[in-house]
Structure 1
Amino acid sequence: MSSKVKVAILGSGNIGTDLMIKVMRQSRHLEMGVLVGVDPDSDGLARARRMGVATTHEGLEGLMRMPEWADIRVVFDATSAYAHKTHSEICVAAGKQVIDLTPAAIGPFTVPSVNLDDHLGQPNVNMVTCGGQATIPIVAAIRRAAKRVPYAEIVASISSKSAGPGTRANIDEFTETTSRAIERVGGAERGKAIIVLNPAEPPLIMRDTVFALAEGADPAAVEASVAAMVKDVQSYVPGYRLKQTVQFERIGDNDPLLIPGYGTFTGLKVAVLLEVEGAAHYLPAYAGNLDIMTSAAMATADRWVERKLNA
């Protein structure tokens, strides 16, 4: 197997275009094959053509009619949760590795800093959501330093300008998918996700907040675990960082929290404030939501190729 494999990207919007540029500039093992869209006048397709990348505006059906289809090994899907089901069935049947950047969650949730190697044998892996990629590593870091994490809640705030039509169409799926992944990957017993599209001008950089209730945890151990996790994420998303030190509030036996559906809680309330600065490959640096999603997807595909090379 060659050290470079051809990839196709379904979706010529913000996410797909940013991913295309990353593959061309930064990937160790991936080579752009085709950028696929449905709007012949989209900026992404025009940019791809200027960069010498083959394109089609006829969706996956158009891609399958192209001679390049035979050489494609990896298909990134940056369209919509609704469309992904059909895309996945076709691509998996054709022997392609599918990396899903929609909230469809057909394949297992994959967050590179937490469980990258666990699911690379699966034909379809799901990259959760931009908010999930930013916050689930922190939930997992808190969980590994605690006996239990009964509850975790995340709030992802992104600029309206960095949310294209596909992102806006998937808002409900975003909250549902991220909430489930907070539990399945992050290790919280209950998870909740909120997304905020901020229309402020000038556009604000992506900000994420993680709130967690942790039992059997020492603040110093939690802080060290979070710091190590931030470093791990920075290995593929350099603009990922803490905004301030981890915040703690101790909930004692003398004044426990009463949580509906859970009961009383005593332990640590943990708050982690994050910022994600984008690499500005397509949209400006405020669009960290693009950067963390596309960087995670590319890291997953690069690792998949390495695994095949070493098999």
Structure 2
Amino acid sequence: MAIVGTGNIGTDLLLKVIASPMLRCDLFAGRRSESPGMELARTHGVPTSVGGIDAIVDMANDIDIVFDATSAKNAMRHWSIIEHLGLPFIDLTPANLGKICVPALNLDECLNEQYVGMVTCGGQAAVPMAYCINEATDGLAYLEIVTASSSASVGPASRANLDEYVVTTEQATKIFCDVERVKTILIINPAEPGIVMRNSITISASESVDMEALCASVDTMEKQIRSYVPGYRVVVPPVSAAGRIMITVEVEGRGDWLPRSAGNLDIITCAAVAVAEARAER
């Protein structure tokens, strides 16, 4: 497989691919030969190129899957090229094209898709919990997702895609949940040391919710996500207070590339690896 994009997400993804017994990176492609990600790839003996997507096209016959870890705008352009080559394309940007995938919810139905979109880091963390809430109700009028990540873990491409992040996270929530309106808020926290990624999913307490069923569903979902994101944990189980029902989850990273507080990298790179490994196993 090949990775295009050598920033924080691409580099963290590379290290997880290297650690996978089922995957091998045959090309790590970007634009800057001297970038930290490129230097790390070379130390691991991974072939690199500054040719970006063009380098992947040149190796198309030797590649089984392309991971895109660039930006939403670039991913759209890359997909227009890769689509005609017939290569499976796993998109870690919020480009909002193709089949939306949250492995805990719809992994099996994504395995035959050429284009699989991994939503966003906040989407991977929060949408499964939103799904649990929805399953315990007869439909929701409003649901709110607030995600806080450390500033050091949010790179330039992610900062350039904040609007796309909001739109894609909200669309994924609507795809998996019967909810009329969704609001997504992203907080980039500059505190030092960096905070662990935290996600709060909230609805009004006026909604009719089966709390017993919700608690059981959240517990099951947490275990399922932890099977591919070990640092995922529910820190505030479903609770009703101050006119709201809230669930809060944290994601602690493995510390492969950035510090362990950067769970926003792990949640999306682990999800992408889960898709690739499932395809390989199939």
TM-score, reference length from structure 2: 0.95
> What residue in structure 2 maps to residue 12 of structure 1?
6
**2:164 aligned residue (163, 173, 176):** 173
What is the aligned-residue RMSD (CA, Å)?
A: 1.5
Does 1:218 pair with 2:210?
Answer: yes
1:206 to 187, 197, 201: 197
Q: Partners of 2:121 and 2:73 in 1: how far apart?
A: 18
* Identical residues among aligned pairs (%): 44
CA contact (8 A) 1:152 1:192 kept: yes
Whichever residue aligns with residue 138 of structure 1, its letter is: M
User: What secondary structure sits across from 2:193 in the alignment?
Assistant: coil
2:100 maps to what in 1?
109
Gaps of 5+ in 1: 1-6, 252-268
Paired residues of 1:159 and 1:198 also in contact (CA < 8 A): yes
Question: Which residue number corresponds to residue 142 of structure 1?
Answer: 133
Residue 253 of structure 2: which of 271, 278, 281 is its match?
278
Residue number in structure 2 paired with 1:21: 15
Give the C-alpha shift of residue 63 in structure 1: 2.9
Shift in alpha-carbon separation, 1:108–1:63, aligned structure 2, 3 A: closer
| 1:91, distance to aligned residue in structure 2 (A) | 1.3
- Listed as ranges, the matches of 1:230-241 within 5 Å are 230-241=222-233
The question of whether the paired residues in 1 share the 8 Å contact of 2:60 and 2:85 is answered with: no
Ranges in structure 2 where 5+ consecutive residues have no aligned partner: none
The Cα shift of 1:213 comes to: 4.0
Does the aligned pair in 2 maintain the 1:102–1:128 contact within 8 Å?
A: yes
Letter in 1 for 2:245: V
- In structure 2, C-alpha distance between the alignment counterparts of 1:118 and 1:245, rounded to whole Å: 29
Q: Following TM superposition, by how much is the alpha carbon of 1:242 offset from its aligned partner in structure 2, in angstroms? A: 1.2
How far 1:191 moved relative to its partner? 1.3
- 1:79 corresponds to 2:73: no
Matched, 1:40 2:14: no
Task: After TM superposition, give the deviation of residue 71 of structure 1 in Å.
Answer: 1.2
Is the 2:233–2:249 contact (alpha carbons within 8 Å) kept by the matching residues of 1? yes
Distance across 2 between alignment mates of 1:250 and 1:160: 30
Change (3 A) 1:61 1:22: same
Q: CA deviation at 1:168?
A: 0.7
> Is 1:127 the counterpart of 2:99 in the alignment?
no
Pairwise CA distance, 1:306 = 2.4
Kindly tell me: are residues 195 and 273 of structure 1, through their superposed partners in 2, closer, same or farther at Cα, counting changes over 3 Å?
same
Provide the residue aligned with 1:188 in structure 2. 179
> TM-score scaled to structure 1, two decimals?
0.87
CA distance in 1 between partners of 2:44 and 2:258 (Å) = 17
**Letter in structure 1 aligned against 2:220:** A
Residues 27, 46 of structure 2: 8 Å contact kept:
yes
Q: How many residues align?
A: 281
Q: Decide whether the 8 Å contact of 2:153 with 2:262 is kept in 1.
A: yes
Whether the aligned pair in 2 keeps the contact of 1:178 and 1:192 (CA below 8 Å) is no
Given residue 248 of structure 2, which amino acid in structure 1 is its aligned partner?
Answer: L
Q: How far does residue 250 in structure 1 lie from its aligned partner after superposition? A: 9.1
> Shift in Å at residue 249 of structure 1?
4.4
Q: In 2, are the aligned partners of 1:63 and 1:69 still within 8 Å (CA)?
A: yes
Range 188-197 or range 157-166, more displaced: 188-197
Which digits, 9 at most, give the CA deviation of each residue in 1:118-146, with x for residues without a partner?
23222101000000000000001111222
Native 8 Å contact 2:134 2:140 kept in 1? yes
Q: Report the secondary structure of 2:179's partner residue.
A: coil
